[in-house]
Chains A and B, each alone.
Chain A
Amino acid sequence: MNAGGRRSLYLGLAAAAALAALPAAGPAYYLQLLTIVFYWIGLAACWNLMCGYTGYIDFGSAAYTGIGAYVAGLLMLRLGLPLMAAAPLAGLGAGLVALAVGWPTLRLRGAYFAIATFALAEALMQVCEEWSGLTEGGVGITIPQRLAELSYYWLYLGLAGLVVGLTWWVEHHKHGYGLKAIHQDEQAAAQVGVNTHLVKLQTYVTSAFFIGILGALEGSRLGYFKPDDVFNVHITIKMVIMSLLGGMGTVLGPVIGASFLQLVEDFLGARFLNYYLVIIGAIIVGVIIFLPRGIAGSLGQRLGWRPWRRR
Chain B
Amino acid sequence: MSALVIQSLINGVLMGGIYALYSAGFSLIFGVMGVVNIAHGDLLMLGAFLTYWMFVGLGLDPFLTLPFSLLGLFVLGYLMQRLAIHRVVGAPPIMSYILTFGTHLMISNLALVAWTADPRTVTTAYSGAHLAIAGLTVPWVKLITFLISLAVVGALYLLLHHSQMGRAIQATSQDREMARLSGIKVDRVYALTFGLGAAITGLAGSLVVAFRDVDPGMGLPYTIIAFCVVVLGGMGYIPGALVGGLILGVTGSVCTLLFTPGWSVAITFFLLYLMLLLRPAGIMGKGIVE
Instruction: Name the interface residues of B72-115: CB closer than 8 Å to any CB of A.
Output: 84, 87-88, 91-95, 97-99, 101-110, 113
In angstroms, Cα B108 to Cα A237, docked, is 16
Do A130 and B266 have beta carbons less than 8 Å apart?
Answer: yes
Known: A110-B93, A129-B262. A289 touches B84 (CB 8 A): yes
In angstroms, Cα B251 to Cα A119, docked, is 14
Do A118 and B277 have beta carbons less than 8 Å apart?
Answer: no
Tell me how far the C-beta of B277 lies from the nearest C-beta in chain A, rounded to whole angstroms. 6
Number of interface residues of B (CB under 8 A): 46
Known: A241-B101, A278-B110, A292-B87. A130 touches B260 (CB 8 A): yes
Contact with B along A94-125 (1 / 0, CB 8 A): 00000000001101111110111011101100
Do B224 and A233 have beta carbons less than 8 Å apart?
Answer: yes
On chain A, which size bracket covers the interface?
A: 35 or more
In angstroms, Cα B92 to Cα A36, docked, is 30
Chain A residue nearest to B266 in the complex (CB): A126
B175 at the A/B interface (Cβ < 8 Å)?
A: no
Do B277 and A105 have beta carbons less than 8 Å apart?
Answer: yes
In angstroms, Cα B105 to Cα A288, docked, is 14
Chain A residue nearest to B231 in the complex (CB): A115
Do B265 and A109 have beta carbons less than 8 Å apart?
Answer: no
Do A110 and B101 have beta carbons less than 8 Å apart?
Answer: no
Chain A residue nearest to B235 in the complex (CB): A111
Tell me how far the C-beta of B236 lies from the nearest C-beta in chain A, rounded to whole angstroms. 10
Inter-chain contacts of B290 with A (CB < 8 A): 109-110
In angstroms, Cα B103 to Cα A241, docked, is 13
Do A119 and B84 have beta carbons less than 8 Å apart?
Answer: no
Inter-chain contacts of B88 with A (CB < 8 A): 288, 292
Inter-chain contacts of B99 with A (CB < 8 A): 284-285, 288-289
Do A130 and B104 have beta carbons less than 8 Å apart?
Answer: no
Q: List 19 A-B contacts (CB under 8 A).
A: A55-B92, A109-B290, A111-B36, A111-B231, A112-B231, A115-B276, A116-B273, A118-B227, A237-B101, A277-B108, A281-B106, A281-B109, A283-B102, A284-B101, A284-B102, A284-B105, A286-B102, A292-B88, A292-B95
Task: Give residues in B with beta carbon < 8 Å to A.
Answer: 30, 36, 84, 87-88, 91-95, 97-99, 101-110, 113, 224, 227-228, 231-232, 235, 260, 262-263, 265-267, 269-270, 272-273, 276-277, 280-281, 289-290
Task: Give residues in A with beta carbon < 8 Å to B.
Answer: 55, 57, 104-105, 107-112, 114-116, 118-120, 122-123, 126-127, 129-130, 233, 237, 240-241, 244-245, 248, 274-275, 277-278, 280-289, 292
With A119-B228, A275-B109, A281-B106 given, can you name 9 additional A-B contacts, CB distance below 8 Å? A107-B280, A110-B93, A111-B231, A123-B266, A244-B97, A278-B110, A284-B102, A288-B87, A289-B99
